[in-house]
Amino acid sequence: MAGQGDTGTKEEIKTQFTTVEGVYRLLSPSEYSRPNRVAYSSSGGGGSTPAVRVSLVKVSDSPGHDHDRTKICFNYGRELFVYTYRGIKKAADLTKPIDKRSYNKEDVPTCHDFNSKTATADGVSLLVGLLGGQIQLIDPITKEVNKAYNAGERLIDKTKVTCVRWVPGSPNQFLAAHSSGHMYTYNEELLCGMDRPHYQLFKQGEGYSVYTCKTKSTRNPLYRWVIGEGSINEFAFSPCSKYLAVVSQDGYLKVFNFDTMDLVGTARSYYGGLLCVCWSPDGRYVVCGGEDDLITVWSYKEKRVVARGQGHKSWVTVVAFDSFTSVYSDAEGVDGCSDDTTKHNSFSNDVHNSKTNSGVPNSRPSSNRNSVASDSSGMSFITSYRLGSVGQDTLLCLWDLKDDALTQPYRRPRSSTVVSSSGVVAGSGVPQAGQPTTNSKCNSVKDSVATDSSHHSHSANSLTAKLANLNFGEKKDKEKSEKDHKRSLSLASKNSTQNCKGYVNKNQIVGSSVPSEDSQKPMGTPLCPRLDECPMLEPMVCKKIGHERLSGLVFREDCVITSCQDGCILTWCRPGKQV
Compute the distance between CA of residue 373 and CA of residue 414 in angstroms, rounded to an integer. Answer: 33
Query: What is the distance between the alpha carbons of residues 480 and 62, in angstroms, rounded to a whole number?
Result: 52
pLDDT of 273: 96
Task: Tell me the chain's radius of gyration from C-alpha atoms.
Answer: 23
* d(C-alpha 439, C-alpha 542), whole Å: 13
Letter string b/e over residues 376-401, b meaning 16 or more CB atoms within 10 A of that residue's CB: eeeeebbbbbbbbbbbbbbbbbbbbb
Cβ neighbour number for residue 290 with a 10 Å cutoff: 32
pLDDT at residue 358, as a whole number: 33
pLDDT digits (tens, 9 = 90+) for 501-511: 443 333 333 34
Across 180-191, average pLDDT: 96
Per-residue pLDDT band at 302 (split at 50, 70, 90): very high
The string of DSSP letters for 358-409 reads TS-B------S---EEE-TTS-EEE-EEEEEEEETTSEEEEEEEEHHHHTPP
Please name which of 400, 372, 374, 406 lies closest in space to residue 385, comparing C-alpha atoms: 400
pLDDT tens digit sequence for 38-74? 443 434 444 468 999 999 999 876 555 454 689 999 9
Q: What is the chain's length?
A: 579
So what's the pLDDT on residue 465?
41
Stretch 102-117: mean pLDDT, rounded?
93
Regarding predicted confidence, which is higher, 548 or 500? 548
- Is the pLDDT at 344 greater than 70? The verdict is no
More confident residue, 195 or 371: 195
Under the banding of pLDDT at 50, 70 and 90, the label for residue 524 is confident
Looking at residue 403, its pLDDT comes to: 82
296, 304 contact by CB (below 8 A): no
**578 torsion bin: left (phi>0), alpha (psi -120 to 50), beta (else):** beta
Looking at 36-40, 318-322, 564-568, which range is the least confident one?
36-40
With contact defined as beta carbons under 8 Å apart, do 275 and 234 qualify?
yes
Residue type, 341: T
Query: pLDDT over 90 for what percent of the chain?
Result: 54
Chain centroid to Cα 461, Å, comes to 35
Q: Identify the pLDDT of residue 336.
A: 56
Contact 80, 128 (CB under 8 A): yes
Question: What per-residue confidence (pLDDT) applies to 175?
Answer: 98
| pLDDT-based confidence at residue 193 (cuts at 50, 70, 90) | confident
Name the region of 394 (left: φ>0; alpha: ψ -120 to 50; beta: rest).
Answer: left
- Nearest CA to 565 among 577, 550, 543? 550
The answer to whether residue 259 scores a pLDDT higher than 90 is yes
Distance of CA 151 to the CA centre of its chain: 28
Is 218's pLDDT higher than 80?
yes
Assess contact for 326 and 385: CB atoms under 8 A.
Answer: yes
Lateral strand order in the sheet of 109-114: 109-114, 126-130, 135-138, 146-149
Helices (H), 438-551: 456-468, 475-484
Measured CA to CA, the distance from residue 9 to residue 186 in angstroms comes to 50
Instruction: Give 444-455 pLDDT, tens digit per residue.
Output: 333 433 334 343
Least confidently predicted of 334-338, 346-350, 435-439: 346-350
Of 58, 104, 103, 105, the residue nearest 80 (C-alpha): 103
193-207, 254-268, 275-289: segment of lowest average pLDDT? 193-207
How confident is the model over 304-316, as pLDDT tens digits?
Answer: 999 999 999 999 9
Per-residue b or e along 102-128, where b marks 16 or more CB atoms closer than 10 Å to that residue's CB? ebeeebbbbbbbbbbbbbeeebbbbbb
For residues 419-446, give the mean pLDDT. 39
Average pLDDT in the 265-290 region?
96
Distance, in Å, from the CA atom of 213 to the CA atom of 203, rounded to the nearest integer, reads 13
How do 70-76 and 146-149 pair as beta strands? unpaired
Summarize pLDDT for 366-419 with one digit per residue, the tens.
Answer: 333 334 455 545 555 568 999 999 999 999 999 999 888 888 887 665 543 443
Closest CA to 129 of 104, 148, 145: 148
Least confident of 237-246, 291-300, 462-471: 462-471
Q: Is the pLDDT of residue 92 over 70?
A: yes
Average pLDDT, the chain: 76
Phi, psi of 451 (to 5 degrees): -130, 160
Q: Residue 425 belongs to what H/E stretch? A: strand 424-425
Per the model's pLDDT, the better-predicted residue between 336 and 473 turns out to be 336
Q: How does strand 199-205 pair with strand 550-555? A: unpaired
Predicted confidence at residue 354, as pLDDT, reads 34
Q: What confidence tier does 317 reach under pLDDT thresholds 50, 70, 90?
A: very high
Alpha-carbon gap, residue 308 to 432, rounded angstroms: 16
pLDDT at position 18 over 70: yes
C-alpha separations of 425 from 455, 460, 492 in Å = 21, 13, 20
Give the confidence band of 338 by pLDDT, cuts at 50, 70, 90: low
**Residues 346-368 pLDDT 10s:** 333 333 333 333 333 333 333 33
Q: What is the pLDDT of residue 398?
A: 98
C-alpha to C-alpha distance for 105 and 102, rounded to whole angstroms:
10
DSSP for 135-161, written as a single string: EEEE-TTTS--EEEES-TT--S--SPE
115 Cβ contact list (under 8 Å, min separation 6): 57, 124, 125, 126, 127, 166, 171, 174
Of residues 107, 145, 146, 144, the one with CA closest to residue 129: 107
> Is it the case that residue 208 has pLDDT exceeding 80?
yes
DSSP string of 171-240, one letter each residue: SSEEEEEETTSEEEEEETTSPBPSS---EEEEEEEBTEEEEEE--SS--B-SEEEEESSS-EEEEEE-TT
Q: Are 289 and 296 in contact (CB under 8 A)?
A: yes
**Range with the largest mean pLDDT of 29-43, 92-106, 365-379:** 92-106
Q: Mention every residue, 6+ apart, whose C-beta is less than 8 A from residue 570.
A: 26, 30, 31, 545, 546, 561, 562, 563, 564
User: Binning pLDDT at 50, 70 and 90, where does residue 330 land?
Assistant: low
Peptide bond into 515 cis (omega under 30): no
Q: For residue 540, how far is the Cα from the chain centroid?
A: 19
Q: Is 336 in contact with 242 (CB distance < 8 Å)?
A: yes
Q: What is the mean pLDDT of residues 549-574?
A: 95
Q: Which of 296, 273, 313 is nearest to 529 (CA)?
A: 296
Please state the three-class secondary structure of 81-116 as a single string. EEEECCCCCCCCCCCCCCEEEECCHHHCEEEEEECC
The 8 Å CB, 24+ separation contacts for 359-367 are 361/327, 361/328, 361/329, 362/327, 363/327, 364/20, 364/21, 364/325, 364/327, 365/20, 365/21, 366/20, 367/20
Task: Read off the pLDDT of residues 453-463 as tens digits, 9 standing for 90 and up.
Answer: 343 334 434 43
